[in-house]
Amino acid sequence: MATKRKHLSSIANDVVQKCALQVGTAVDRLVEEFEAEWKPDSVSYSRKFVEFCSSKALLDLCPSIGEKISDGSFSRLTFDMMLAWEMPSSADEEPVRESMGKEKEEKKRVIKVPQEDDEIPLFYSDLMPLLVDHGPNAGEDAFVWLASLFPLVADIANGKFTFETLTAPTGSRLHFPAYDKYLKEIDKCIGYLQKQGVPRGVDLADDELILHVEGTASTQRVVRHIGGQSWPGRLTLTNYALYFEASGVITYEDAIKIDLSKDTEHTVKPAATGPFGAPLFDKAMVYESPELSEGIVLEFPEITSSTRRDHWLALAKEIMLMHKFLSRQNVESPSQAWEIHSRTILGIVRLHAAREMLRISPPLPRNFLIFALFDELPKGDYVLEELAESLKKDGSRQPCSASSILRTINMSISRLPDTKFEEAGKKCTSAGVQDDNYLSLTTAINNVREEARETEIAKASTEGLKEEGIGNSAAVLMELLKRVKEAILPKFQEILTWQRPMMTLAIIAVALVIIYKEWINKAIAASLFWLVLKMHHVRKERKEHQREGIVVCTASDQSTVDSIVSAQRGLQTVHDMVQEVNITLLKLWSIFLGRTRKHAEMVMMVTCAVAIAIAVIPLKYIFMGATLYGLVTTSKWGKRFQDDRSKRRLKEWWDSIPAVPVRVVDRAEDCPVDNSKLS
C-alpha cells in the first residue's frame, strides 16, 4: 500500500495515487521529478504537486480518451482532480471537516412534511436529482484549471461562462452527477454527429465536419422560403458552410451551399415569415451576401418560442466569426488554424450536450461559443487578440490540445488533418492556468467579465424606460428638459435681456477678444475644464443623494373630458407644426426651381452679395459683428433703433411665395416611376 503524504489532503492523496497508477510509476518517483523543479517548503507546494500529477495522468489518457469519455471511472478521476486542486493540503481540509460535521448533526433532526406539500415542481423533481448529490462539489476556478489541461470539458477562453451556465440550477457549484452526465452527453453528441450522412451532391473538404443537422424524419422541420413558395428540407451545418437539401418525392435534392467562410460582408440575422409575405412568425433567419440578389430565408417552425432559430443563428454566426478571426489575425499556419477550428467544434459539441442536459431551461448558446461570446461582450476584442497571441506562442503542440482531442475521439478520423505536436510538448509543466502563455489571456477574460457585469447592471436600469408607454415616455422627456431649462435658461435670459448689465458687457468683451485673437480652441478647452469642475462640485455637494432617482409626477386634477380635450389640442399642435414645415420646404423648393422668377432672382442676388462679403471680409470680423448685433439688439438702447417695417416687409415677401403643388394618389398605377431603379 502506498504511503500517504501528510501535507496532502485525503482527496489529494487519493488523486496522486490514481495518477501514479495511470502513469505506471510510484508516488515517490513522481515526488522526485516534481521536487527537481519545486522546493518542498515553497508556497503552494501541495497544489503544484497535484497539478503536476494530474497533468501527467491526463497526458497519458489523452491518446485513448475516445474510449474512456463514457467510462464512469474517468469522470470520477477528473472530478476528484478538481476537488484535490481546490483542497490540496491537509490544512485546507480541517475547516471542511468541521462544516460537514455540523451538517450531519443537522440532518439527524427529522422534519415531517405535510402531505399537501409533497407536490414538488417538475424542475426540481426531474432535473435536480441528476445534478446534485450530498458529496463534495467543485468550484469555478477548479473547473477552469481542468479545462486548461483537458479542453474537452471547456475552453479556457470561455470556461468561466460555461461553468456559470452549467451550475446555474445548483448554486454555482458543480456536483459529480451533473459533471458525469455532462461528459456522457458530450460522448452521445459526438456519436450522433458521426452517424450523419454527407449532404447530397456535396464533397466535404478534408477538414470539414458535420456539426448540426435538422429537418430529418427524427428531427423538427426546416423550411426554405423563396418568394411565395415554401420548401421543406434538411439543413446541415459544418465548420465551413450551411447545406440545405429540399425534400423530393423519395429522397433529397442536391444541396445548395451557403458558404460561411468567405471574407465578405455577409450576414445572418433574424427574420419573420408568414402567409402572403406578412411578417407574422418570428422564427426564421435570413442569410444576406453582396453576391446574392436576395437573401436566403430559412424557417424553423415551433409552437411557442423561437429557441431553434436562435440556436441555429448562434451557430452560423460562430462559424462566420471564426473565419473572420482567422483572416484578421493572419493565422497562416495550418496547425494553428486547425486548432481554432477544433476549439470551435468542441464548443458546439459542448453546447449540444448542455442543451440535452438542461432541456427544461435551455442555456444561452453564446456562453459555449468563443467568438460569438466575445463579439457581444464589451472589450471582447481584447480577449480575441490575446487568444491569437497565445495561439502563436503555443499553437497545437500539446498532446491534450483541442485538435489532438478531436482526433482521439474518432470524429471522422479519416478526414482530419494530421496535427503533430513537438517533443517539447510532451514535457509536463505544473503551471496549469498560471502558465506564462495564459496569464495575459486569463487577465483579459477577467477584465471583460467584470466589464460585462457592469454593463448588464447599466442595461437593467434602462429596461423599465423601454417598457413604458408613449405617455410616460413623453412625461419623462418633459421632466428632463424642464430640469435643463431651469438650470441653464434663466442665466442666459439674464445675459441676453441685460438684467445684469455688467455681466453682459463682460461676456461681450470676452467673446470679441476670443474671436479677434482666434482663441476658439482655447475657449472650448476652458469650457470643458469648467464642466469638469462643475461636475466635481455637484457630486461633492450631493453625495448623500447620489443614489436618488428622478421622480416624474403624472397626476392631474383634470377630468376625463378635460384630458381628452388636452390630448386633442396637443395632436392639433403637432399637426400644425408638420404643416408649417411642409409649407416651408415647398416654398424653398419653389424658389430653387425658379417657379417664381422675381423671388428666385432676389434670392440669387442676396446670395451673391453674401458670398462676396464672406470672400472679402475676414470671417472673424463677421462673427464679431454678428455677436455685437445679437447682444445689442436685445438691450433697451438697441430696441429703440429697431424698425418693425423690415420684419413686416420680410413676412409679406415670404407670404407672396407660392408653394409647389402637391397631389396625393392612393393607387399604384398613378405613382411616379423611379428612373434610378429602372437603370
Q: Retrieve residue 175's grid coordinates.
A: 456536483
Higher-confidence position of 221 and 121: 221
pLDDT value of position 367: 92
Strand partners, 284: 271, 299
Strand partners, 231: 224
Burial (Cβ within 10 Å: 0-12, 13-18, ≥19) of residue 441: buried
What integer is the mean pLDDT of 126-131?
Answer: 50
| Size (the chain), residues | 679
- For the chain, how far is it from start to end, CA to CA, in angstroms? 89
Residues 432, 149 contacting (CB under 8 angstroms): yes
Alpha-helix runs per DSSP H in 332-435 = 334-357, 370-376, 380-394, 402-408
Higher-confidence position of 182 and 459: 182
Containing H/E element for 16? helix 10-23
Q: Identify which of 204, 474, 240, 214 has the alpha carbon closest to the alpha carbon of residue 337.
A: 240
pLDDT value of position 114: 41
Maximum alpha-carbon separation in the chain = 114
Residue 452 Cα distances to 147, 439, 458, angstroms = 22, 20, 10
**Residue 406 to residue 400: CA distance in whole angstroms:** 10
Residues 583, 659 contacting (CB under 8 angstroms): yes
Three-state DSSP class for residue 601: helix
Q: Is 549 left (phi over 0), alpha (psi -120 to 50) or beta?
A: beta
**Residue 204 to residue 654: CA distance in whole angstroms:** 72
The model's confidence at residue 520, banded by pLDDT at 50, 70 and 90, is: confident
Name the percent of the chain lying above pLDDT 70.
Answer: 79
**Residue 539 to residue 550: CA distance in whole angstroms:** 16
Best-predicted range by mean pLDDT (240-244, 375-379, 452-456, 477-481): 240-244
What integer is the mean pLDDT of 581-605?
Answer: 86
Containing H/E element for 634? none
What integer is the mean pLDDT of 50-64?
Answer: 89
Residue 6 has pLDDT above 80, yes or no: no
DSSP E strand boundaries for 249-322: 256-259, 267-273, 281-288, 296-299
What integer is the mean pLDDT of 316-343?
Answer: 91
Residue 355 has pLDDT above 70, yes or no: yes
Residue 431 has pLDDT above 60, yes or no: no
**Residue 233 to residue 251: CA distance in whole angstroms:** 10
Helices 45-61, 10-23: axis angle to 10 degrees equals: 30
Residues 629, 642 contacting (CB under 8 angstroms): no
pLDDT value of position 122: 38
Residue 612 has pLDDT above 60, yes or no: yes
Contacts of 282 (CB under 8 A, 6+ apart): 270, 271, 272, 306, 309
- The predicted-structure confidence for 621-678, as pLDDT tens digits, reads as follows 888 888 777 777 776 666 666 666 777 888 888 888 888 888 787 777 767 766 554 4
For the chain, the average pLDDT equals: 80
pLDDT value of position 98: 54
- The predicted-structure confidence for 258-311, as pLDDT tens digits, reads as follows 999 988 889 999 998 888 777 788 899 999 999 888 899 999 998 888 899 999
| Buried/exposed code over 585-611 (b: 16+ C-beta within 10 A; e: otherwise) | eebeebbeeebbeebbeebeeeeeeee
**Residue 44 to residue 121: CA distance in whole angstroms:** 44
| 609 Cα distance to chain centroid | 55
Higher-confidence position of 203 and 484: 203
**410-424, 600-614, 660-674: which range is least confident on average?**
410-424
Best-predicted range by mean pLDDT (93-97, 341-345, 400-404, 609-613): 341-345
Residue 306 phi/psi, 5-degree rounding, is -115, 40
Strand partners, 623: none
Residue 90 phi/psi, 5-degree rounding, is -65, -25
What integer is the mean pLDDT of 327-339?
Answer: 88
pLDDT value of position 1: 44
What integer is the mean pLDDT of 561-577?
Answer: 81
Residue 459 Cα distances to 56, 145, 310, 462, angstroms = 46, 31, 21, 5
Burial (Cβ within 10 Å: 0-12, 13-18, ≥19) of residue 451: middle
- The predicted-structure confidence for 31-55, as pLDDT tens digits, reads as follows 888 888 777 666 678 888 999 999 9
**Residue 232 to residue 234: CA distance in whole angstroms:** 7
